[in-house]
Chains A and B, each alone.
Chain A
Amino acid sequence: MDIIKAKELHKTFKLKHGQEVNNNGVIANEIEVLSGFDLNIKKNEFLVLVGPSGSGKSVFLDLVGGLSTPTSGVVYLDGKPVEAPSAKTGYVFQQYALFPWRTALSNIEFGLESRGVDKEERVKVARELLSLFGLSDFEDRFPYQLSGGMQQRVAIARALATKPEVLLMDEPFAALDAQTREILQNELIRIWEGTNTTVIFVTHSIDEAVFLADRVAVVTARPGRIKEIIDIDLPRPRNGDVRSSIEFAANRHKVWGALKAEVNKAQQDWKLAPVFAE
């Protein structure tokens, strides 16, 4: 059963006055990020989006999360069009985005507060999540007292606290060092396998994509649409050992095969418009 259906999504951003961009030879004051983006995501699925920089992967997450509206097209979540942020989605960002004036525990409580959950219940849920991430001894710590990996764990716990049906993760591990990153990937898999949450995960790392995903959706260079969807046929439950298997390498090769041409295209694109290279 599909929990998310994205149909014919288009998203165009107006640029600032005087800024221009070359869209296949047409000079314009606006930039088209998504064009004809179709994607169906199954319930409980772990779907990873890979694609070159600027291909609109994060924009798609914003559309699913209701933080932005498409120029045309619709995203259906549980059969209803997404128009505003809802309790059904949780969002995890690359920059953690923990509130620095709140402790780890109170950060996790945040989403529950605005839903009117009472204090006792909030603390209970938050403590459970902290213990799930092995952070029970850190509940009174402020973000500045936590390492990057711990902060991102708290941020994931915060997003999970409201029991969302869909967890949106925008390059959540990109700012972490390689070891911490692998540890967190393992933890995420472990925790996700224990819930029935659907995850949409954006990354630039093919290894990360193959290790985590049920399916990897490869997005084209800007304007983004789905180029190919690759089923990752690695058995679950997965652990770190799978990374060194032949099957892993084969899947990795498949994803890279689909992605390579798009990355090259994107690089050509940035050469034409160096102003936007970032």
Chain B
Amino acid sequence: MSEELVAPSEIALKIRSWNFDGYVKKVEHLLKGLNNWAQGIPLVLVFFAIWEALPRLGIIDPLFLPAFSTTIKTLFDLTVTGKLLLHVVVSLQRVSLGFGLAIIVAVPLGFLMGWYNKFERYTDLLVQSLRNISTFALLPIFLLVLGLGEPSKIAIIFYGASWQLLMNTMSGVKSVDPIYIKAAKSMGLSDWDLFRKVILPASIPSIIIGARLGAKIALMVVIAAEMIGAKSGLGFFIQNAQFNFMVPEMYAGILALALLGLLINYLLVWFEKKTTSWKGEAGNSILG
């Protein structure tokens, strides 16, 4: 509060120098973030070292667990020859289709459920019953009904990703501070403007968290779906490698999956920070 007592001209001076410092601060912040991230590297290296050592020392048969270096080399070869890329692209396509559908359907539905109590009362029991069944348990049903082709895979991804989006949109709408609504109404906003200019932006942070969790589930579900009935995709690749006893390829596939998951998570975290920058640092915790 001390700046209250500073004369306006002094404030202006202060701000100019802040703006210059702003860039320095941004870089410092980035370095700090990188530094925090880098602190996690040693443990990952230890993990890889143990992975390397176990088969080499003969503690685990290299036939079942090829050394880390072998796996990396296989992953490298698979990447260079483009053999892996095709499967990654196919999996990502399925994920984006299913996830995109989930956004189109679940977000508007979440708004309806959050805003109209009546609508929620009618739908809540069904929603709660369905969302507590493991998506994986429903996979056979999707395959039975929609067959082995693309629709069943996209449908199950859509189904799995929808729940988090739905729940988070709903709770986002419900937790809009009533004072914002009162303030907007006092300025004579129409219902549509109230939704567009207050409810929607106020629930964005909650929706984005839902999207992050939903995208994670989509990535898990696509692998499972591809393992059951598919001729392409990362899930199929891993499963196929296992069936044909191409053990290094199998591990390489799993490693690729881990990298992909990591990449998507960082992308979504970045997107979240970008879209909710108005919440300040405190609002941007990195959730699971």
Q: A residues engaging B (CB < 8 A)?
A: 65, 67, 84-87, 89-91, 93, 95, 97, 99-102, 110-111, 113-115, 134, 136-138, 142-145, 147-149, 162, 168, 177, 179-180, 183
Contact = CB atoms under 8 A, between A and B. Distances in A.
A179 to B, nearest CB: 6
B279 A144 contact: yes
Q: Looking at B183, B201, B202, B204, which has the most chain A CB atoms within 10 Å of its CB?
A: B183
Contact of A99 (B3, B186, B198): B198
Interface stretch (B64-72, B74-82, B116-124, B189-197): B189-197
B11 interface: yes
Interface in B241-288: 277-280, 282
Interface in B170-184: 177, 179-180, 182-184
6 contacts: A85-B185, A89-B186, A99-B202, A101-B202, A162-B187, A179-B4
Contact of B280 (A95, A137, A145): A145
A114 B180 contact: no
B279 A100 contact: yes
Interface in B19-54: none
Interface of B: 1, 3-5, 8, 11-12, 15, 177, 179-180, 182-190, 193, 197-198, 201-202, 204, 277-280, 282
Secondary structure dominating the interface of B:
helix
A99 B201 contact: yes
A111 to B, nearest CB: 4
B4 A183 contact: yes
Given A86-B188, A99-B198, A137 B4 contact: no
A114 B188 contact: yes
Contacts of A85: 185-188
Given A97-B182, A110-B187, A144-B278, A179 B202 contact: no
B12 to A, nearest CB: 5
Contact of A114 (B4, B187, B201, B204): B187
Contacts of B15: 137-138
Contacts of A65: 186
Nearest to B276: A101
A45 B182 CA distance: 25
A179 B4 CA distance: 8
Contact of B179 (A87, A95, A102, A138): A95
A179 B226 CA distance: 66
